[in-house]
Every structure is written in C-alpha cells, then in structure tokens.
Amino acid sequence: MSFTNLLTISMPCYERKEYFIAALESALNQTIKCSVIVVDNCSSHDFFEKVCKEKNVKYYRNDSNIGIAANFARGFELSDTKYVMNLQDDDLLSPNYVESFVHAVNMHQDIDVFYSDFSVITSKGDKSHFHTLPFGYSPNGNIIIEYGIKYKLGFPYMSSAIKKTKAHSVVDTNGWIGSYDWEWLYSVADKLSFYGDNRKLYHYRIHDNQITRKSHSSFILTLPYIYDKILKEKTSDPILKKQASKNAFWELIQLKSEVKFDELKEIRNGQNKYDNYLNTKLKENIFLNFIFALPSRLVCFCFKVLRKLGFSK
C-alpha cells in the first residue's frame, strides 16, 4: 500500500452529519494514502468522534466554536505535512486525487498550490460547472488573475492542496464568511506557483444546508470587492482593468437584486471593509445609487433580462 507524507487531508466539520461518512471515506480510500484528520468546531454531539474512532482517524475538537474560516485554518495548524487540503464534510474526492497530487509535485517540486477540476453533485446526479479554468503548470499565478477577470471568479479553492508555509491564517473574521478564500488566493496568486489537473477529482455538493447558502449576502458582496480592490490592481492591462470594473458593477447589481431589504440595510449600516466598500461605491456612482433605491423585484427582473441579452458578460 502506497503512502505519502507530503499531504494531510483535513476535514473541518460542525453539527452536520448526513454527508460526513461518505466524505471521510473518500479521503481514506485513496489509491495513495495520506494523513487524514478531522477538526470538529465544538459540535453539540459526539457523532464525528465516534466515527473517527471506528475508522482510526485523528480527531480534534475545538474547546469553543471559533468560526468557519478559523476552523478551516485550524487544519493547517494541526497538520505536520508540507501540504494541506481542506475537504469539506459534504463533498467527495475521487480515489486518485492524492495520486495526481503526488505526480504533480514530483514533476514540479516548487508547486505552492495543486488543484483539480471538479464536478457538481446535485439531487439529479453529477453535473459540470460553468467556470473556465487554466490547467497545467504555472510558475506564477498571473494566469490565475487573468482568468479570474476574463472568465469571472471560479478558482477551485476547495480542491486545492496548499503548501503549509504559504497558506493564509484566519484568526478572526468577525462573523463574516464571504469568499475569504478567494480574496486571499487572488491577492497572492502572482507570488505563488500552481499546478492544475484537468480531471474532475473533486465533487462539490449542492444542497439546502450549505454554508454559502446561509451566508449568501456576504458571499455576493465579497465578489465585487475582489474584482475592484484586488484583481484590478493586480493587472497592468488596461483592457483587463476595465473588465474587472465591469464585473464589479454587475456583481453589485446582483447583490441588490438578490439580497433582502433588511439584510441590505444591515450591510449599509455596517463597519467592516466590505460594508464600507459598498457605501463608497454608492457615493461615487450616481447611477448605481439610483439602482439601489429601486425595488429589488424590479432590479431582479431587469438584471435577468440584461443577463440573457449578454450585457453582464
């Protein structure tokens, strides 16, 4: 049985039981084995601990709930391997994920981030995603930045094995989840080396109990911020800068069309950098401010029509 000491698969978990065993077994049943740990964010039950004991998996439990982002970072802290990947407790890995990772690192020993393509698990079976991703070896992440602007944000952070010394550390997000993983990755992409495998080795599950669905407004607001404050600043190409601004504008329109009035009001009264970003944009852009004054249903209808006509591309 082959084993690599290069990688740890960390599984952050909290409360949700229904997909955990399948996710854990997909990490354990790899063609090349690696370290697997489970990091429980202080759940109210001992289900995860019992399963880990049965399957001889290292189990860690936080003394208190430290938040989703910090619990994901905790996996990096607890691992003693060169690379760590966070497998979400509702997703699945293909059996040859680790094998593909080892092969890539053997070919390019300077890789900071390994990632693979992915499929989407729905109630009707596996489906393809709509993102356009770069694959192969990239000695720097300029192509990641370029693709993030040209083809919209879509880097598969969830399928990424990241060098521990290069990974970000999230201690406190003040209850804000959003796309903190994308924000970090796109902000440092030009300083990292990447390898992307074009096979769908990660399987992302869509369901009603997802974290991103529960924090939808914070997720949407992070997107224009990334386009405007990170990607636009990272590129020197005037065409890409213009596209990044355009992407940010349409993401803000989507925010208005999808987020409830009370949630939007809370954001407008907030004090974090994303709240401040939105308020600044509304002050700077009279047209955008006018749109935000309209009823959400009207904006939603117009946004759908314009998207079908291709204006938001």
Q: Which residues have a Cβ under 8 Å from the Cβ of 27 and sit 6 or more positions away?
A: 9, 11, 36, 87, 93
Q: What is the mean pLDDT of each run of 10 residues along the chain (313 residues)?
A: 94 96 98 98 97 98 91 93 97 98 97 97 88 96 97 95 86 54 92 97 88 69 94 97 96 90 87 91 94 89 73 61
Question: What are phi and psi for residue 137, nearest 5 degrees?
Answer: -90, 135
Rounded-to-integer distance, Cα 97 and Cα 104, Å: 11
Q: Tell which CATH classification among 3.40.50.1000, 3.90.550.10, 3.20.20.30, 2.60.120.560 matches the domain 3-213.
A: 3.90.550.10
- The CA distances from residue 110 to 2, 9, 172, in Å, are 23, 20, 30
Q: Residue 153 corresponds to which tokens in the numbers above?
A: 């944000």
Q: Using alpha carbons, select from 139, 16, 158, 188 the residue that is nearest to residue 97.
A: 158
* DSSP letter assigned to residue 229: I
Q: Residue 219 corresponds to which tokens in the numbers above?
A: 């997720």
Q: Using alpha carbons, select from 83, 94, 117 the residue that is nearest to residue 30.
A: 94
Which residue is associated with the tokens 């935000």?
292
Rounded-to-integer distance, Cα 155 and Cα 125, Å: 22
Contact 206, 121 (CB under 8 A): yes
So what's the pLDDT on residue 310? 67
Domain ranges of the chain: 3-213, 215-308
Q: Which residues have a Cβ under 8 Å from the Cβ of 10 and sit 6 or more positions away?
A: 36, 37, 38, 39, 74, 75, 76, 78, 79, 84, 85, 86, 87
Rounded-to-integer distance, Cα 284 and Cα 126, Å: 43
Q: What is the pTM of this model?
A: 0.92
- The CA distances from residue 274 to 176, 266, 281, 284, in Å, are 10, 12, 11, 15
Rounded-to-integer distance, Cα 287 and Cα 215, Å: 27
Rounded-to-integer distance, Cα 144 and Cα 133, Å: 8
Sheet strands (E) in the chain: 3-13, 33-40, 58-61, 83-86, 92-93, 113-122, 125-127, 136-138, 161-163, 194-205
So what's the pLDDT on residue 215? 62
Q: Residue 307 corresponds to which tokens in the numbers above?
A: 């998207």
- How long is the chain? 313
Contact 202, 91 (CB under 8 A): yes
Coil, strand or helix: which one is 87? coil
| 279 conformational bin, left if phi > 0, alpha if psi -120 to 50, beta if neither | alpha
Rounded-to-integer distance, Cα 255 and Cα 10, Å: 32
Rounded-to-integer distance, Cα 263 and Cα 258, Å: 10
Q: Using alpha carbons, select from 235, 129, 179 the residue that is nearest to residue 168.
A: 179
